[in-house]
Chain A
Amino acid sequence: MSAVATKPTHSHYESNEADNFLISSKGFLSWALTLDHKRIGLMYLIGVMSAFFLAGTLALVLRTELLMPQGWFLTTQQYNQVFTLHGAIMVFLFIIPSVPAALGNFLVPVMLGAKDVAFPRLNLGSFYLWVAGAIFFLSAMLYTGLDTGWTFYTPYSTQTRGPVVAATMGVFILGFSSIFTGLNFIVTINTMRPPGMTWFKMPLFLWATYATSIIQVLATPVLGITVLLLAAERVFHIGIFDPQFNGDPVVFQHFFWFYSHPAVYIMILPGMGIISELMSVHCHKSIFGYRFIAYSSIAIALFGFLVWGHHMFTSGMADVTTIVFSALTFTVSIPSAIKVFNWLATMYKGTVQLNTPMCYALSFIFLFTIGGLTGLWLGALSTDRHLHDTYFVVAHFHYVMVGGTLVGFLGGVFHWWPKMTGKMFNDFWGIVSCWFVFVGFNLTFLPQFVMGSRGMPRRYARYLPEFQEMHQMSTVGAYLLGLGLFVALGVLMHSLRRGKKAPPNPWGGATLEWQCESPPPYYNFQTPPTVNEPYDYQPLVYRDSDRGWDYVQPTSAPKPVAH
């Protein structure tokens, strides 16, 4: 084991406070210029949460405005700007980087038993690209108000007065941040797995991250060139997307969705990875059908590239193309279904601990199942023609992205919070926050399915009075959801000041990150971790609530493989 040769000389496995990555060095620059993946992960966490807070507030503004069919305090123009900001910030600044960049950065090397990602400088660079993109993007949008929707559909985006060029440059920069993060993870997982960790001994979160990274690397460049061409279209009128100069707006839609549909899987796959970890650990049960879950992640990543056309069923594509895209769309539903069934089977005969992360994991399954199943209506061509661009679609993708990714992200944050900060949170209030989020979310978006099938189009600042009751229900739900999120934030913040010190392994996880201290020292592992089955709970012994679980070395440790 070559890692032994370079390990630091601490021979005692003693918790050494000074090694803790949070305080091992001090000062602003020690954070701003850090190459430590854990610090970068935490900075991302703060960044994406701020973006989420901003975009979430905008969502409440929208919902409040929609209390009245004829509007209340926003002009239609302002409404359009607010929904554009809400969507664009949520997608580009929150959902896409949330799990991979924030949690992934923290967890990928630790789960691998590595000291850092393969390219720490690139990693820091990605973070600053994210910051630069965010500043660019936000200032552009706040300055005069972008109103194209987050999709930037041409030719509206080439006609409108908003700062489209600045916003697209922001997206371009954010895209490169995402590409470099993905590239880093692929290389890290490929080349830095410790001896003994074969592909099928990797935690499922790493499988999910790997699949996500593949999409990031393969799809995001196409978004890059698309927004570049859009900017060129606006400035030089290159006539590729703008019908005024012989271009075709449908070409833009193809280009855009070629990235943005796989991007949906960038958003949901890491969430699924988190749930795989959470279900196993908190059921204290080896994951059911490991290989099926792992393969299904890769299958989703690959199929995800072939289905972009289902965003364009009404845009006048050829019939054959439309039908082929519909068929391919249904193929994606199968691996998702496989995952859900395997998670459920994992619970069978396990020991289910209904704590905060598990409650979030269960609400993920509930909400994601709705999100996934409602996709069937939209994949079927005849029903889609009715439901396309209505509130049904809005509800569907919120069930997947909020009910799926956000809830999974929150579950992950609670699950790894003790590892990241070394503090335990208040479980009772954590569960309360989960209930608020769950009830509030369903109240917000269930009525929108009904509105959609009744024919309420999306992106409407004003609507027919017959939809008012449903909209009001939805608004009440949104406030409840917001309240739940505030409770969750409060629980986390409270833990920082008052939380009990977390043991290395509070939940009884068998993956490598639970073998190092909480929070981990700068080099992650004082002794190189023993690579074991990631979901084998036999060697884990519960001590008490202060010391958590201990890993008792099995008598025959797996043989290190020569490097």
Chain B
Amino acid sequence: MTSHAHDSHDAGHGHGDHAHMPFQAHHFDDPEQQFDAGKLGIWLFLVTEVLFFSGMFCAYALYRSLHPEVFTFASQYLNETLGATNTGVLLFSSLSMAWGVRCAQLRQRTGLVICLAITLGCAAVFLGVKAIEYTHKWDMGLLPAGTYVSQFLQTSHHEGLSSWLYVLSAVPAVCVVGFGIWYVMSVVSGDKARAEIAGPFLVTALCYFLGVYIGIVFQNAEAAEHAKHETAAHASETHDEHGHADASHAEPEATAAAKLVSHVEPNSPPGSPTLAAVDQAGGAGVFFSIYYCMTGVHAIHILGGIAVLAWLLVRATKDHFNAEYFGPVDYVGLYWHLVDLIWIYLFPLLYLIK
């Protein structure tokens, strides 16, 4: 549905007729009316976005209130450092976006291009970190309820980078190569206008790998931390019941795991469900279902944001925006702040349950 994204986005900003200069659509009386229409339009769009996410927030609230212990238990598998890093990155990108709107209003062309490039870069870093988080969890079997692998049964151990990471990074890698070639060629041919577009795009693609790098560093730090804990724990008590030979990945604390025992679905057949059986039956899986749905849909919004920011950047290099006409930058800015805001809610709700 590329046409969908394009149409909705384009028209969502009330114009898009780039061909003629004052960018005023024929059916509006004056630029002011056009700006107001666009502003109301984007606000309404944001309302629909909030409602779209609200469905998942409801699901979250419901299942957390039903199974609080499962949420506490499963939340431990999320890496707070990475979450916090991403929160910082997004907050910073919101700042650069707001600055960009200011630049557009003041007709500071270069300033706007730089701000947009920074915002794009932050978005890419965010996705890079997210890629590390996702692939690490996939390897550990921390998956939606239907495919979730109980952490009490885990025997295999994953070292190094996940093969999924290579799959996810294929597109950014192609982008790096493509934009790199494009950038070099435009610099060589002396096409400054092209180079101005290709440069930020190249930086954006590279930023994804910066995010991946940050992710790996923090992930390893976390693992090392846990390893220390584990060795200490293993020294005092035995865990052979769960067959846990490896100590390098996050092993649930015994207390949290024990809490799971008390979680028995009202409908389960009589008998004594073991801790592993409860976890296997998807106990913690629902948490990860909700985690993937919420962060996944959020990540899709980041991708959408990257697309519209790129479009803005192209227009910014052509000096389309000024004090009279900065609507698109303003609207995209609002959208970006919303995406940021949603993450601000997701981070504590998912990562910081204690």
Contacts and interface: CB of A to CB of B under 8 A. Distances in A.
Interface of A: 2-3, 5-6, 114-125, 128-129, 132, 173, 176, 179-180, 183-184, 186-188, 190-192, 217-222, 224-226, 228-229, 232, 236-240, 243, 245-247, 251, 255, 563
- Nearest first, the 10 closest Cβ-Cβ pairs linking A and B are A237-B146, A125-B7, A239-B145, A122-B11, A238-B289, A121-B11, A225-B55, A116-B27, A221-B52, A245-B145
A251 B40 contact: no
Contact of A221 (B48, B281, B282): B48
B7 A186 contact: no
Contacts of B6: 125
Given A119-B41, A246-B286, A255-B55, A238 B144 contact: yes
A32 to B, nearest CB: 12
Interface stretch (B28-36, B108-116, B228-236, B340-348): B28-36
A118 B45 CA distance: 14
B41 A187 contact: yes
**Centre residue among A119, A124, A184 by max chain B CB count within 10 A:** A119
Contacts of B282: 239, 245-246
B145 A218 contact: no
A217 B54 CA distance: 14
Contacts of B4: 125, 128-129, 132, 173, 176
A187 B40 contact: yes
B1 A132 contact: yes
B16 interface: yes
Main secondary structure of the interface of B (DSSP, over half): helix
B51 A6 contact: no
Given A121-B11, A222-B51, A239 B40 contact: no
B52 to A, nearest CB: 4
B7 A128 contact: yes
A224 to B, nearest CB: 6
Main secondary structure of the interface of A (DSSP, over half): helix
Interface in B61-102: 62-63
Contacts of A251: 59, 62
Contacts of B53: 225
Interface residues of B, number: 54
9 contacts: A121-B10, A132-B4, A183-B41, A218-B47, A221-B52, A221-B54, A229-B293, A239-B285, A255-B55
A120 B37 contact: no
A186 B285 contact: no
B289 A125 contact: no
Given A237-B145, A237-B146, A128 B3 contact: yes
A277 B215 CA distance: 62
B8 interface: yes
B145 A119 contact: no
Interface of B: 1, 3-4, 6-8, 10-12, 14, 16, 25-30, 33, 36-37, 40-41, 44-45, 47-49, 51-56, 58-59, 62-63, 143-147, 265, 267, 281-283, 285-286, 289-290, 292-293, 297
A183 B147 contact: no
Nearest to A194: B29
Contacts of A120: 11, 25, 27
Contacts of A180: 8
A119 B14 contact: yes
**Centre residue among B8, B40, B281, B297 by max chain A CB count within 10 A:** B8
A126 B132 CA distance: 37
Given A2-B29, A5-B29, A228-B297, 17 more contacts: A115-B27, A119-B14, A125-B6, A125-B7, A128-B3, A129-B7, A132-B1, A183-B44, A183-B45, A183-B48, A221-B54, A222-B51, A232-B293, A237-B147, A240-B289, A246-B285, A251-B62
A132 B286 CA distance: 33
Contact of A563 (B16, B29, B283): B29
Contacts of B11: 119-125
B30 A192 contact: no
Contacts of B56: 225, 229
**Centre residue among B4, B285, B286 by max chain A CB count within 10 A:** B4
A247 B36 contact: no
Nearest to A213: B44
Nearest to B63: A240
Nearest to A216: B48
A229 to B, nearest CB: 7
A192 B290 CA distance: 42
Contacts of A224: 52
A82 B53 CA distance: 34
A341 B47 CA distance: 35
**Centre residue among B37, B146, B147, B286 by max chain A CB count within 10 A:** B146
Given A218-B47, A229-B55, A238-B144, A118 B285 contact: no
B311 to A, nearest CB: 14
**Centre residue among A117, A183, A219, A239 by max chain B CB count within 10 A:** A239
B8 A125 contact: yes
B15 to A, nearest CB: 8
Nearest to B7: A125
Nearest to A158: B146
A240 B286 contact: yes
Contact of B59 (A3, A190, A218, A229): A229
A181 to B, nearest CB: 11
B40 A176 contact: no
Contacts of A219: 51
B290 A240 contact: yes
A117 B14 CA distance: 10
A124 B285 CA distance: 42
Contacts of B30: 2, 563
A6 B55 CA distance: 45
Nearest to A238: B289
Given A128-B3, A217-B47, A246-B283, A238 B40 contact: no
B146 A236 contact: yes
A186 B37 CA distance: 10
A123 B30 CA distance: 20
Contacts of A247: 145, 286
A191 B33 contact: yes
B148 to A, nearest CB: 8
Contacts of B59: 229, 240, 251
A325 B285 CA distance: 32
Contacts of B14: 118-119
B256 to A, nearest CB: 18
A236 B286 CA distance: 11
Contacts of A243: 267
A238 B286 contact: yes
Contacts of B25: 120
**Centre residue among A121, A125, A237, A563 by max chain B CB count within 10 A:** A121
Contacts of A179: 48
Nearest to B283: A246
A563 B285 CA distance: 58
B41 A118 contact: yes
**Centre residue among B56, B145, B297 by max chain A CB count within 10 A:** B145
Contact of B16 (A121, A123, A220): A121
Contact of A238 (B3, B26, B146): B146
A187 B56 CA distance: 27
Nearest to A172: B1
Given A183-B45, A186-B40, A239-B289, A122 B55 contact: no
Contacts of B40: 186-187, 190-191
Contacts of A225: 52-56, 297
B33 A221 contact: no
A125 B3 contact: yes
B6 to A, nearest CB: 8
A408 B238 CA distance: 75
Contacts of A232: 144, 289, 293
Contacts of A245: 145-146, 281-282, 285-286
A187 B37 contact: yes
A6 B289 CA distance: 55
